[in-house]
Amino acid sequence: MTGAGTIDLNCDLGEGYGPWRMGEDDALLDIVTSANIACGFHAGDPAIMRRTVKSAAERAISIGAHVSYPDLQGFGRRHVERSVEELSADVLYQLGALDALAIAAGSRVAYVKPHGALYNEMAVDPDLARTVVTAVLSYRDDLPLLCMPGSATEEVARSTGLPFYSEGFADRAYDAQGRLVARRLPGAVLTDPAEVSSRAVRMAAGGTVRTTDGAELSLHIDTLCVHGDTPGSVELARAVRRSLEEAGLQMRSFING
Amino acid sequence: MTGAGTIDLNCDLGEGYGPWRMGEDDALLDIVTSANIACGFHAGDPAIMRRTVKSAAERAISIGAHVSYPDLQGFGRRHVERSVEELSADVLYQLGALDALAIAAGSRVAYVKPHGALYNEMAVDPDLARTVVTAVLSYRDDLPLLCMPGSATEEVARSTGLPFYSEGFADRAYDAQGRLVARRLPGAVLTDPAEVSSRAVRMAAGGTVRTTDGAELSLHIDTLCVHGDTPGSVELARAVRRSLEEAGLQMRSFING
Amino acid sequence: MTGAGTIDLNCDLGEGYGPWRMGEDDALLDIVTSANIACGFHAGDPAIMRRTVKSAAERAISIGAHVSYPDLQGFGRRHVERSVEELSADVLYQLGALDALAIAAGSRVAYVKPHGALYNEMAVDPDLARTVVTAVLSYRDDLPLLCMPGSATEEVARSTGLPFYSEGFADRAYDAQGRLVARRLPGAVLTDPAEVSSRAVRMAAGGTVRTTDGAELSLHIDTLCVHGDTPGSVELARAVRRSLEEAGLQMRSFING
Amino acid sequence: MTGAGTIDLNCDLGEGYGPWRMGEDDALLDIVTSANIACGFHAGDPAIMRRTVKSAAERAISIGAHVSYPDLQGFGRRHVERSVEELSADVLYQLGALDALAIAAGSRVAYVKPHGALYNEMAVDPDLARTVVTAVLSYRDDLPLLCMPGSATEEVARSTGLPFYSEGFADRAYDAQGRLVARRLPGAVLTDPAEVSSRAVRMAAGGTVRTTDGAELSLHIDTLCVHGDTPGSVELARAVRRSLEEAGLQMRSFING
């Protein structure tokens, strides 16, 4: 767990494929402390993974395996029917592939963050969460999993002894139960840098978030997720980092916290 | 290197994809001592890899990473243009993916055998061989490589200190220089069980092979490659194993030799 | 619609991919009168499609576009989330691809038969059926669609004026409502050649099927579906054809009926 | 052939895949008169093809099938070993797929332009050119092919009666023989809008190009290729179009010329 006074910033990186690119990886590498790196199933071919891993390793940024359902065309945002055996094999395959590239770059995969539909479905489906947790445990039983606090993912990870870290979204509205408001609803995504930065500081330093009903909800957060794939998102991430530093927080990977 | 009196049999396994199967894996698992397992680039999806790794681990058969150019439709038999960086990343990706599945099954990848076009091209191209050898070294510097004796692959592996083991083909004709006769030429592939078995014993016990010009060529062999994907090939593999045992050879993975 | 005294036999063909094969295409081509040819989304690469189309054209067998969700690894048996625009584009893409190969072989696509999960989901989902029907209409408005009688597919096709033909399964149990009994239930799949053949004749000549509750249900059938991908299935298909011929039925594509 | 006083501008469009985009399609659709639309083999999934075809059809821009080797990861820039049968099937598959989407949009594929490695290899390899030309002929024998003047593609197309149109590159240096100077050589790619525009006008109106040795080479051009995937390329394309119009040339698809 991060100590008081430190905070981690994580973001999705290496989400190109073949000739295509997504997001501003170079700018983000100067902002974040943890990199969720695509493993080839929703994005990221081996050459892109290799470059991204090297860039992260050179900057001492933590390398996270951003594992996904096999769905390149849908960018891992769609549900894909997988048996327990298939999903388990998919997770191990991606985890090992990225870890080998990390080892070759003098580093290791430091954590696992599920991507897209898998992330969202695990968060509410203990059986699905168990399949992923069990797969990770069977590879390296000290490899932390990253997801939302209060998710089925957290519950299952903690019950098995797999380290768990929780992430918050400073640019997303939370409802009274501490769940994210669905993207399609008005007000779900915040874009004002001042507001997002102020929420980030409150989450990182105070461990609270203001919910849509105006209450101040207690929320333990080890890392804040920032984005780089929409216009203005890099500037927003930069503003968030600046505000956190000005508030006296030390930027540091949750792994080393 | 295998001690006197022992011999290894290796074959390609797990070469299905999705709903498709290739070769008689179940029969072969009772015959061989080393399994070259497809890693998803020419064949083998994660679920098939997982099953094959488990079957091999249960029988204490050595697990080999059968790494390939990315070419599912061409089964890895075609040249694919890859830069040094791309090929290096491809090898590490496949190696790590299979190793994670092996670790989850309580085992490890025990060796690397390149597949198809990559195998053939490395054997005569030291630069290509160096790319693959360097990639393997950067992951695990004690991980043996399997290829033909006298190949560029052997030369480069030995010069870098990567363990190397050499394989022979009892069912293929060798020319005076100890090279395989091209498949398309008459007499290149032998199918008579008695002849193939007798060649296998001579290679395994005596370290020689009769070449197409009738000479007896000295050839150090750590493992013999058998096949299971053509009619009669399993019977041939079984006959070879029986002959080797009857000649007093002990069947044993070259890794543990 | 087929005239009295004629019946069509259709089966799935060309379901290999790259180096892999599925089913006994050569044997089936001598038995059936209509070929459902995979279009690359669940099986069938362009070279396999080309060969299968040529074989069908040479024998004057009707060529059907066996369109599927994009799901090679799952063989089109899984649901894939597609928007109306995406599914419409998928259907047109596959339809045009096969039609071009048919045209090059001196023939044309003669009908469309959805595959796997798409077939099953359309049968009970009028919106999904409408998307596929509308896509087919926008390409060629006289191109027949093949599905189960009483399905949403039939209803939507008939309401739009797209020709519709209905298929029956002599080797599957029907419930009292004329629906197929789910495969996983006991007795769902019939394998006795005598029983299957007798059901085939009754369906083709009499337009009835005996349901699981022992009743004789009236069922209009234009074509019977036979299989070639499980042990004994080719023999079963051959037995069915022989029985139909012995019962005086003329084997003829429903398209030309 | 274009009449005197008219010129066509063609460019590559629809080169995204799944979540990824390439080039500024919207801007280019207001500049060009012919759209080379990716068919899924180097870029372009069915949904992207559908949208691009509709946008082109609405603007009465000619739709070209931008057929490629199957090479999504390499963007069709790499050689892929294909037998005559395989390449022929690949071309027909892509051609038919795009044509079906065009028909559904109330249009038709108006021409074929090979992409990347296939384009370059056909231009110097008559056997390869013959395979593609024969495939196109077997689908629609009046479907024009687009390539460089003086190429093997032109020679083979003309010898078979397939309509052929020749394209020029105003932003590329030509050597004394009228061949493009390789991209990697200095001066191969021109970026000064004034120079490129002036060359465009000379090619379109005068039928000549200034070669690297300073000579004025006669070069019959039906269409000029412009790009939209590098910084400044859309502005360059716009400048070229403006200069052509100011020189009194009428912008018009070569198909209708």
Contact D50 C96 (CB under 8 A): no
User: Over chain D, what is the mean pLDDT?
Assistant: 95
pLDDT, position A3: 45
Q: Is residue C100 part of a domain?
A: yes
CA pair distance A13, A63, nearest whole angstrom:
10
Average pLDDT over residues A235-246: 96
pLDDT in tens, A180-200: 999 899 999 999 999 999 999
In this prediction, residue A1 carries a pLDDT of: 40
**What is the domain extent for residue C50?**
6-251
What three-state secondary structure class fits A89? helix
Q: Is residue B1 part of a domain?
A: no
Of B46, B89, B98, the CB nearest to A47: B89
Residue A230 has pLDDT above 70, yes or no: yes
Q: What value of ipTM does the predicted structure carry?
A: 0.95
* pLDDT tens readout for residues A132-173: 999 999 999 999 999 999 999 999 999 999 999 999 999 999
The whole-number average pLDDT for the span B152-180 is 95
| Residue C84 pLDDT | 97
Give the pLDDT of residue D59.
96
Token representation of residue D253: 């698809």
Residues C125-149 pLDDT 10s: 999 999 999 999 999 999 999 999 9
Mean per-residue pLDDT for C59-72?
Answer: 97
Residue of C nearest to B47 (CA): C73
Look at residue C121 and tell me whether its pLDDT is greater than 50.
yes
For residue D257, pLDDT over 70 is answered with: no
Domain membership flag for residue C116? yes
Question: Is residue D257 situated within a structural domain?
Answer: no
- Segment D122-149 mean pLDDT: 97
pLDDT at D71: 96
Question: In which band, very low, low, confident or very high, does the pLDDT at A212 lie, cut at 50, 70 and 90?
Answer: very high
> What is the CATH classification number for the domain harbouring D235?
3.20.20.370
Residue C257 in domain: no
Mean pLDDT of A50-62: 97
Chains that touch D (3 or more CB pairs under 8 A): A, B, C
- Asked if B177 and B212 touch (Cβ cutoff 8 Å), the reply is no
| pLDDT exceeds 80 at position C4 | no
Q: Answer yes or no: do B89 and A40 touch at CB < 8 A.
A: no
C-alpha distance from A179 to closest chain B C-alpha (Å):
33
pLDDT tens-digit map of B114-164: 999 999 999 999 999 999 999 999 999 999 999 999 999 999 999 999 999
The percentage of residues in chain D with a pLDDT greater than 70, rounded to a whole number, is 98
Q: Does D74 touch chain B (CB under 8 A)?
A: yes
Residue C58 lies in a domain: yes
- Asked if C74 lies within 8 A of B21 by C-beta distance, the reply is no
Spatial contact of B133 and B157, defined as CB atoms under 8 Å apart: yes
pLDDT tens per residue across span D206-254: 899 999 999 999 999 999 999 988 888 999 999 999 999 999 999 999 9
Residues, chain D, total? Answer: 257
Neighbours of C106 (CB within 10 A): 11
Supply the angle between the helices B126-139 and B84-104 in degrees, to the nearest 10: 40
pLDDT tier for residue D3 given thresholds of 50, 70 and 90: very low
C27 has pLDDT over 50: yes
Cβ–Cβ gap A81/C74 under 8 Å: yes
**Residue keyed to tokens 């597949």:** B115
Residue for token digits 């690949």?
D90
Confidence of residue B2 (pLDDT cuts 50, 70, 90): very low
Residues of C in contact with B75 (CB under 8 A): 18-19
Interchain pair D81, B81: CB under 8 A: no
d(CA B99, CA B112): 11
Alpha-carbon distances, residue B37 vs B33, B102, D14 (angstroms): 13, 11, 38
Residues of A in contact with B94 (CB under 8 A): 97
DSSP labels, A116-159: HHHHHHHHH-HHHHHHHHHHHHHH-TT--EEE-TTSHHHHHHHH
Nearest to B10 by CA among B32, B28, B29: B32
Yes or no: say if C131 and C85 are a contact pair by the CB < 8 Å rule: no
pLDDT at C234: 94
| Mean residue pLDDT across chain B | 95
Residue D168 falls inside a structural domain: yes
> Is the CB of residue C78 less than 8 Å away from at least one CB of chain A?
yes
Average pLDDT value for residue range B36-51: 98
What is the domain count for chain D?
1
Q: Please judge whether A18 and D45 are an interchain contact, meaning their C-beta atoms are less than 8 angstroms apart.
A: no
Residue B3 has pLDDT above 50, yes or no: no
User: Is residue A257 in some structural domain?
Assistant: no
Contact yes or no for B46 and A86 at CB 8 A? yes
**Could you tell me the pLDDT band of residue A2, with boundaries at 50, 70 and 90?**
very low
Cα D217 to Cα D175, D208, D210, D222: the distances in Å are: 9, 5, 6, 16
Q: Does position B1 have pLDDT exceeding 60, yes or no?
A: no
Please, which contacts does D197-203 make with residues 24 or more away whose CB atoms are closer than 8 Å? D197/D170, D197/D239, D197/D240, D197/D242, D197/D243, D197/D244, D198/D243, D199/D170, D199/D171, D200/D170, D200/D224, D200/D240, D200/D243, D200/D244, D201/D243, D201/D244, D201/D247, D201/D249, D203/D168, D203/D170
pLDDT score of B206: 87
Nearest to D92 among C95, C104, C139 (CB): C104
- pLDDT at residue C131, as a whole number: 98
- CA D225 vs CA D146, D202, D248: distances in Å: 11, 14, 19
Q: Does C98 touch chain D (CB under 8 A)?
A: yes
